[in-house]
Amino acid sequence: MHHDNHEYDYEKLKEVGKISYEALQYAKGLVKAGASVLEVCEKAEEFIRGKGMVPAFPVNLSINEGAAHYTATINDQLRFSDKDLVKVDLGARSGDVLGDCAVCVDLSGKYGKLIETAEQTLESALSKVRAGAELNSIGREVEQLAKRNGFQPIRNLGGHAIEREELHASIFIPNYDNGDTTKLEEGQVVAIETFITTGEGSVTDSDIVQIFQKTGAASTRSPETRKMAESIDNQYKTYPFAIRWLSKEFASEFGIRKALNELNSFGVIESFPALVERSRGIVAQAEKEVIVEKDSCTVVTK
């Protein structure tokens, strides 16, 4: 394996992948009808911390038509029901090395074919991943299989390259043929993630915004905002965090939002609204993180 062109510590990456996968299996086992969404998020994040790593991003537990970026709110009262399809999406981080993987839990017993399609399209996409593979050819594979099974791929969500320090880096790996003939390179680390839906096949922002990341420095006059900016810099650097995490240190949600709004006005905060399928179709997801090899790929989240 020649990976000179991407400075990556592949051994560390595999450790992070292994812990991410273990956390995913642990979280999956906690998702049951009646279980608290807040508790599952916190326990899964604690699991990662207990392994000597930190969450690469807040644990995402998106339900039914929710596709991504739902993490528990402060004092979240939401509980899973026996009608839910739940996506668990999480990753561990060690230093600047990041994990990312996802799986579905069907509490309804009704979405077997949809979930199976998400898993099949993921495996099918992975079978196309190798140095020189064109991104749209991976997407085409996903789209054809999804449609054959009577579903739609989600067109504005997909996989991504993972650089050191950056979860969503440079390339977008589509779930349909978007015409992008950019080629994968040997040694690249990518997350292949398929999103399949009973709906029309696109996501839109909801009004729930719980996940943010700080992208730069800001000089602010407000001591509250400065204090929070310093805390974010110290604990989360430029990685995503949840309002819920800040609430451990800053008691008032209003105060937290006010400070985030001020940082946002300086252009140094990015927000990640929870995403929902536009036609409110049910969404299934499957995701693994891999290293692109000469003739195939190596899964690291296992």
Active-site positions read 89, 100, 160, 168, 193, 287
The tokens for 230 are: 């310093």
Distance (Å, rounded) from C-alpha 201 to C-alpha 211?
A: 23
| Planar angle of CA 235, 237, 241, nearest 5 degrees | 70
Distance (Å, rounded) from C-alpha 200 to C-alpha 186?
A: 35
Distance (Å, rounded) from C-alpha 183 to C-alpha 195?
A: 21
Bridge partner residues of 90 (DSSP): 101
**DSSP helix/strand/coil, 246:** helix
Q: Which residues contact 267 (CB under 8 A, 6 or more apart)?
A: 216
